[in-house]
Structure 1
Amino acid sequence: MKKQLFALLSIVSLSATAQPTLETGSQKPMPETWIDAATNHTVVRLTNKPGNNASFYFHNNPFVGNKMVFYSTDSLNGRQLYTVDLNTRKLEQVTHQAFAMSGEIIGTKGHNAYYQINDSVFVTNIDTRQTKLVFVFPADFKATITTVNANETLLAGYRSNDAEKEIYRLNPEKHDYFNKIYEARLPRTLFVIDINGKQLKPIFTDSAWLNHVQFSSKDPNLLMFCHEGPWHKVDRIWTIDVRDANKGKVQLMHKRTMDMEIAGHEWFSSDGKIIWFDQQLPRGTNFYVGGVDVKTLEEKKYKLDRNEWSVHFTTSPDQKLFAGDGGDPGQVAKAPDGMWIYLFTPEGDHFKATKLVNMKHHNYKLEPNVHFSPDGKWIIFRANFEGQSEVYAVKI
């Protein structure tokens, strides 16, 4: 038994020492596994296939069991959904669609991936690969799905009008359309689709840019959305109980407290009790991750350094840790040394930061969008420091 244990420990030790220590992104390609020379943390490439591979947006859950769903685009298959087993790194193709598809919506209860092709919503089971048509939008209500609720009975999303679509067409770059959409004050409508009953129900309309639509991670009736626009001009974070939709009752979750305050890039905690968000008091000056209790509206916040500000933040499954994807000097924090993947540990009223990955060779036009792995031991992100987009995991 002692000999077997010694042999196992020897293999583990050899495997660890065999990993090269390199500056992340200093060569193209990087090996499949390496140790970041600046942080001494192990980095693994999860998407070893041709094409551009991208993990989900930061608040869209990509996990089913120990598999992670991601998008991949290559010349043979176009843009399709795949899974990677986080233990074995085995890749499997989930969808085989002939047309452009959108939607990063995973139902963990049923192991389903929901997505949209033109006016039609489909579901593909991740285990069986069986695909079904869920819903076809009527001609007078063309809309976009963005989220599924916790018990997988409702989809939700938003509907914009043709005038808004024309602004996008004439101003395809974000810096051109962003203020124009906000200032136009065109109506948007939130809706739900009953998955089993195939029924569409509009639930709220406002002359505002309703966006970032997310169901609670636990409460199947609680829907969060934002008033999109320049963050220092909007009280952004709102919720609505879809059962009270006919009453048009919405709840502002955080009201700005000073001129130029911003609060945004909101997401639900894993237990659904807190909505977390990037908070700046005022914009570009003092940086926090804020949180508001969805029932009591009680707030708390953790301060962080300018260099530690991140495009997106997230929380670990056990809610004890946070992570951030950093940012380049051209972004709101104007951080001189902010290009890192970070781990944050709350200490009193502030974060203690640990640098995990040096991102100096990454172009932040591709947002890294961090996720904790289901076991909480890795942080998963996307990056382009090898030239194309790939998905990586760094060991905490």
Structure 2
Amino acid sequence: MTSTTPRFLLAALTFSCFPALAVSQAVAPASPPPQSWVDKTTGHRVIRLTNEPNSTGFYFNNNAYTPDGRKMIYTAPDGIHVLDLATRKTRLLVPNPPRPETEDPVARYRGGVHAIVAGHQTPSIFFSKMDLTTKLSTLYKADVDTGVVTELVTLPEGANSVATINADETLAAGTMNDGSPVAPEYGANLTSPTGTPAVRQVTGAQSGTLVQPDGKGEMMERRLASRQPLILFTINLKTGKLTTLLHSTDWVNHLLFSPADPTLLMYCHEGPWQKVDRIWTIRTDGSQNTLIHKRTFAQEIAGHEFWGIDGKTIWYDWQPIKGEDFYLAGYDVATHRRRAFHMDRNEWSIHFNVTADEGLFTGDGGDPGQVAKAPDGEFIELFHPEMKKVDGINQPGFIQPGVFHAEHLVTMSKHNYRLEPNVRFSPDHKLVIFTSNMFGPSYVFGVEVDKASPGPANGN
């Protein structure tokens, strides 16, 4: 984003969790990365799953899989793609409409298709597209098997996008301006109440989507301080009925419906984590607005929340003292009981994920510039969880203790962590899937959970 971008346009852009967030202008290499290799440090085989330079997987907590677990959705500059996980064949499902190469990058981005989430009930991908004449966004869903696209609803003015679709595929949720918009100088890489995805231009060898900007912390401070009024809403995908769940001057972001309960929405109060009460749930009738983690330490942080596969547990990065002590915590939405798995500094990750049976966890690591300031944390990690035996005083409200036993899967020393890898397990738990720019442009890769058979290792 250039310094000449009008303030009103900056206020309409967002740093968000959508999978297709950026326009990357990296130059593709003469040849694609290897199709597979065995990481010589970890002994695990890594497989390139996508063929398109600057392709990217979904944000770590957005469902990318069809209900039968056979196909995964990802995005690339030319549109929304489908990967058959068994054959590893890919195809373009929803193409981006052609746009002039000389068009302003913001308009070029806005005129494209933007994936939201794969359906939990039907084999479909929900996506949005803005009409550049009316400036209104319309929601669609595409059948992953047939390619048939169904138009759903057009969003009202000011509600330029939605972030999540509920479990029975009847509602979408988003945020919009509440009254006259404010246009503080907080930059183009932060969330505004319009919920419109940002355009980030990234040049150079290390690039891709979901790239974090320089100075993000300062911009987040300015956005939080702006106290921009907004509405948290749902919209019925059949009737178009808009329901207001919440009026707020807090910065509301990272909306995510439960994968099992169509009436339960998780969202966050965005901003520097030590300055917000971050993780919340609310019902689709606006009731039961509930803070999930209440701090008891100064400088305590909790965030990057995500649902367990069955929708029973909310998991989140928990640091009782920011940057000093590291846990992945779990909150049972029915019983309100909590677990917390401890890990070392070098094992901390920007994002985590979990298998359906909670037998394995994964993390995408981080470079020394992240909150953990890990000197040796640039790995895709596999975590084997262990609950610790409690032989002393215990109470129903106590957090139950556990530890992670970490195993390196992929060496990420050549990855630029401004692009977050956003790990997830494949539905059969055999792969950890992530996005990386270790070869320049981003691609989606999978690493086998089991070590490769003995033989010559190559690669990183």
- After the TM superposition, which residues 1-396 of structure 1 pair with which residues of structure 2 at under 5 Å, given as runs? 29-49=32-52, 51-64=53-66, 65-73=69-77, 77=78, 80-98=79-97, 99-118=111-130, 119-139=137-157, 141-160=158-177, 163-164=181-182, 167-169=185-187, 173=213, 174-243=216-285, 245=286, 248-348=287-387, 349-396=402-449
CA distance in 2, matches of 1:165, 1:116: 24
CA distance in 2, matches of 1:272, 1:189: 25
Q: Please give the secondary structure, in 2, of the residue aligned with 1:52.
A: coil
Distance 1:170 1:33, change over 3 A: closer
Runs of 4+ more than 4 Å apart: 168-173
CA distance in 2, matches of 1:295, 1:196: 30
1:164 Cα offset (Å): 4.9
CA distance in 2, matches of 1:267, 1:114: 19
- Do 1:103 and 1:145's aligned partners in 2 also have CA atoms closer than 8 Å? no
More strand by share: 1
- Do 1:190 and 1:205's aligned partners in 2 also have CA atoms closer than 8 Å? yes
Q: CA RMSD in A?
A: 1.8
1:387 Cα offset (Å): 0.8
Distance 1:176 1:93, change over 3 A: same
Q: C-alpha deviations, 1:11-35, integer Å up to 9, x for none?
A: xxxxxxxxxxxxxxxx975420110
CA distance in 2, matches of 1:94, 1:29: 22
- Do 1:210 and 1:225's aligned partners in 2 also have CA atoms closer than 8 Å? yes
1:367 Cα offset (Å): 0.4
- The amino acid across from 2:117 in the alignment is I
Distance 1:101 1:167, change over 3 A: farther
Distance 1:120 1:176, change over 3 A: farther
- The amino acid across from 1:266 in the alignment is E
In structure 1, the residue matched to 2:10 is none
- The amino acid across from 1:67 in the alignment is K
1:155 Cα offset (Å): 1.1
- What is the number of residues matched between the two proteins? 360
Q: C-alpha deviations, 1:29-52, integer Å up to 9, x for none?
A: 542011000000011000023x31
TM-score (norm 2): 0.75
1:138 Cα offset (Å): 2.2
- The amino acid across from 2:140 in the alignment is F
Q: Which has the higher contact order (CA 8 A, sep 6+)?
A: 2
Distance 1:90 1:40, change over 3 A: same
Distance 1:314 1:186, change over 3 A: same
Distance 1:39 1:108, change over 3 A: same
1:198 Cα offset (Å): 2.4
- Do 2:270 and 2:276's aligned partners in 1 also have CA atoms closer than 8 Å? yes
1:241 Cα offset (Å): 1.1
Q: Which residues of structure 2 form unaligned runs of 5+?
A: 1-29, 98-110, 131-136, 191-212, 388-401, 450-460
Q: Which residues of structure 1 form unaligned runs of 5+?
A: 1-26
TM-score (norm 1): 0.87
Q: C-alpha deviations, 1:289-342, integer Å up to 9, x for none?
A: 011111232211010000000000011122211100000011100000000000
- The amino acid across from 2:241 in the alignment is Q
1:190 Cα offset (Å): 1.2
CA distance in 2, matches of 1:151, 1:171: 32
Q: C-alpha deviations, 1:342-387, integer Å up to 9, x for none?
A: 0001112110001000000000011000010000111000000111
- Do 2:217 and 2:272's aligned partners in 1 also have CA atoms closer than 8 Å? no
Q: C-alpha deviations, 1:196-254, integer Å up to 9, x for none?
A: 222221211111001110000111100000000110111111001113x2xx5401111
More helix by share: 1
CA distance in 2, matches of 1:179, 1:371: 30
1:167 Cα offset (Å): 3.7
Q: Please give the secondary structure, in 1, of the residue aligned with 2:164.
A: strand
